[in-house]
Structure 1
């Protein structure tokens, strides 16, 4: 059975770090028996590394071990390469996946929408794309990448303990325009 191996260095003993180690172990078990072995990472498991790093509620590059595979992902996506896959091995990991959707006015978060283009007449999105990570067929994290064209990310966490309510990014433009209409009616034409 192929397993995802990823390097995680031992960290100090804070309660948060202990909780994160437990979370990662739980995610590994959920992901079809993936193992975390200190100091070991196989290059062919890049897709598995990417999914694990993208599922971190603290952001995909919170831990130094995630920086190289995630930076490689950003470069690949910017060049139009396909999103990497992870072979979870025998038995697989039913309902665990990640997929990228390039951002546009039709797929964006409402607060990332803005007027741009010629004469500020096009509705645009400040992010290049969004990666949705599903675990057990439920949205776990959504990572907006290349926010503001500056290479930054914004992670939305929807897993256990989260208070965020999932939303449909395909509806954001409609909500944005409705809010603009309401604001112009109340404020006298912004």
Structure 2
């Protein structure tokens, strides 16, 4: 059964095709009833009771959440879709900064207007480096409050889990920050 935030539900069947699980019978009813245009991005979650919940990102937005594809690796920015700004900020201006919550941590990032687009800039290089965000990763930002977004990262369609390291209770273990490590260690490779 597929469930949508609107309260609508549809019975569907799943089938294995070439080793991939696909939604089969009933999917056309979901598309028709929700009037989903082509190129709608879907977030699909399997619940504990083996039902399916979907979020539909039409024009890259769903409620107060938006998705963007990381295609700005050189610039290391997150572009906020125009339709998101006009939909969610029509009564208030875009903030100067936001908190991005991911993998149990918070990063502070700032916004700028570049070529008539709002983008998250300062703070993004550290966020990208810390979370190992790659080109073509899909970034899902879900608004938690007026200044905080929760970030989920999807690579090749699968959510990338955050790397929450357990702290050692052994007092003889010293943790070296990643930045310090990479600045002070030489790498040697062996040619074979």
Q: TM-score over 0.5 for the alignment? A: no
Query: Which structure carries more helix by proportion?
Result: 1
Greater relative contact order (Cα < 8 A, sep 6+): 1
The structure that has the greater radius of gyration is: 2
